[in-house]
């Protein structure tokens, strides 16, 4: 019987790719490995932590403590911790939770294998075992970030921006589609910076164009774009390549000049609005997902009213809001007071999401009666759940397929008529 290892991966999709890389190495070392398995009875647990903001850190610490409790109860023999929280706070955590058998950095898979008395397989260094449903996979194109956003601790944990070699990414995409993957989700801390430090020029448009040539790649979806220095040459690729989703995830965070300056985003409110206009003009029918932040130090009621007006006028099809989290070691942590009360941060976030609910409902209502192509993700009740090219897994609404559609293959594409819609999900027949 192979020894079992259970990786619990918290945080973002980039962290999940790290867990999948580790999973492959452990399998090659002879272990039976699962990621985020329900009711796992594996003797060794690896908690892949997130250290981004307060809530995420708390979730990670709670998970570590839960696994340490299982170890005390004899359910698991060893508990290892890796990822961003461990990268950022290992000294303190080692002192506070001595029951953990090993603390490892964000990318220290070699350390975990060595702790198990195993060899790291250099030849398999960019091979992954997928934890996502077989028809979609995340494709990480770079690591780290060179931006200086005031509130962000990510560069403290991931280091500076490092693009993966162009051909290595293409080879991985070919390997993934060879394994049956149809949807490639392009991810990074800052995907729109791709190639800049490695090749001295931005190569994201070229990369996406090349990915669109990969046999079997039916959907290529771009996440984590950044507004400043946006590579406009990407837009014709998104417009002209049918298998590049008319979907762009671009975190804008705010729209007031004053707040964007305090956030050190390197872009103005007018540049932000102009960017949105140009993207929509050059890629007709594109769906935009953005993220905004409420309650950043210095945000006044007037700044927030400007954000409300911006959300009402821009009508993003997809939008999420984060209340500001004061993180030590960041520019904010070192230079600003956390002067917006927690209740106000939260109330502002809720007000934005209430407006967004109406915008999303109106966007959906316009689509009723039209036909749409759906990727079937899983069985749901007596029917299925899936997504259109406008929906990214785990963050966006879903398509509910009625049972009357009959038996469908998971991972297949089917065209349906949109029969009805809620504020977020749509129902098709």
**Residue placing its CB nearer to ligand SF4 in the complex, 67 or 189:** 189
Query: Measured from the CB of residue 58, what is the shortest distance to ligand SF4 in angstroms?
Result: 20
Strand partners, 82: 48
Query: Measured from the CB of residue 274, what is the shortest distance to ligand SF4 in angstroms?
Result: 20
Query: Measured from the CB of residue 8, what is the shortest distance to ligand SF4 in angstroms?
Result: 23
The answer to whether residues 210 and 237 touch, using CB atoms and an 8 Å cutoff, is no
DSSP character string of 144-181: S-----TT--HHHHH-S-EEPPHHHHHHHHHHHHHTT-
Query: Measured from the CB of residue 426, what is the shortest distance to ligand SF4 in angstroms?
Result: 30
Query: Measured from the CB of residue 149, what is the shortest distance to ligand SF4 in angstroms?
Result: 3
**Residue placing its CB nearer to ligand SF4 in the complex, 26 or 149:** 149
**Residue placing its CB nearer to ligand SF4 in the complex, 31 or 322:** 322
In angstroms, the first-to-last Cα distance of the chain is 46
Instruction: Report d(CA 2, CA 30) in Å as an integer.
Output: 7
Query: Measured from the CB of residue 50, what is the shortest distance to ligand SF4 in angstroms?
Result: 13
**Residue placing its CB nearer to ligand SF4 in the complex, 21 or 149:** 149
**Residue placing its CB nearer to ligand SF4 in the complex, 60 or 192:** 192
Instruction: Report d(CA 142, CA 390) in Å as an integer.
Output: 24
**Residue placing its CB nearer to ligand SF4 in the complex, 193 or 304:** 193
Q: What's the full length of the chain, in residues?
A: 429
Name the residues that contact ligand SF4, by CB under 6 A: 145, 147, 149, 152, 154-155, 189-190, 226
Instruction: Report d(CA 143, CA 126) in Å as an integer.
Output: 13
Nearest to 226 by CA among 257, 253, 196, 199: 253
């Amino acid at each position: 019987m192979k020894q079992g290892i259970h990786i619990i991966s918290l945080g973002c999709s980039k962290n999940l790719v790290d867990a999948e890389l580790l999973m492959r190495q452990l399998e090659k070392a002879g272990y039976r490995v699962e990621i985020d398995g329900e009711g796992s009875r594996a003797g060794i647990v690896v908690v892949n932590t997130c250290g981004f903001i307060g809530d995420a850190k708390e979730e990670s610490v709670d998970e570590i403590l839960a696994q340490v409790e299982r170890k005390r109860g004899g359910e698991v023999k060893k508990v290892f911790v890796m990822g961003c929280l461990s990268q950022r706070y290992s000294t303190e955590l080692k002192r506070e939770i001595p029951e953990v058998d090993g603390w490892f950095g964000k990318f220290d898979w070699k350390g975990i294998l060595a702790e198990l008395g195993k060899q790291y397989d250099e030849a398999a260094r960019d091979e992954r075992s997928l934890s996502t449903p077989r028809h979609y996979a995340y494709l990480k194109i770079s690591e780290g970030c060179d931006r200086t956003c005031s509130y962000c601790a990510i560069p403290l944990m991931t280091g500076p921006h490092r693009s993966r070699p162009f051909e290595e990414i293409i080879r991985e995409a070919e390997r993934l589609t060879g394994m049956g993957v149809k949807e490639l989700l392009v991810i990074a801390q800052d995907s729109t910076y791709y190639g800049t430090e490695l090749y001295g020029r931005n190569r994201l448009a070229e990369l996406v164009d090349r990915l669109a040539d990969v046999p079997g790649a039916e959907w290529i979806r771009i996440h984590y774009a950044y507004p400043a220095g946006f590579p406009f040459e990407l837009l014709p690729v998104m417009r002209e390549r049918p298998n590049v989703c008319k979907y762009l995830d671009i975190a804008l965070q705010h729209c007031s000049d004053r707040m964007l300056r305090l956030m050190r985003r390197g872009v103005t409110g007018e540049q932000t609005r102009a960017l949105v206009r140009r993207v929509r003009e050059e890629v007709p029918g594109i769906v935009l997902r953005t993220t905004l932040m409420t309650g950043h130090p210095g945000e006044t009621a007037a700044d927030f009213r400007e954000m409300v007006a911006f959300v009402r006028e821009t009508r993003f099809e997809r939008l999420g809001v984060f209340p500001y989290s004061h993180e030590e070691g960041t520019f904010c942590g070192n230079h600003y007071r956390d002067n917006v009360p927690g209740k106000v941060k939260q109330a502002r976030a809720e007000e934005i999401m209430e407006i967004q609910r109406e915008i999303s409902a109106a966007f959906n209502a316009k689509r009723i009666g039209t036909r749409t192509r759906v990727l079937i993700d899983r069985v749901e009740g007596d029917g299925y759940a899936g997504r259109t090219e406008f929906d990214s897994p785990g963050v966006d609404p879903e398509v509910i397929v009625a049972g009357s559609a009959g038996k469908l293959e998971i991972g297949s594409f089917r065209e349906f008529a949109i029969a009805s819609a809620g504020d977020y999900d749509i129902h098709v027949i």
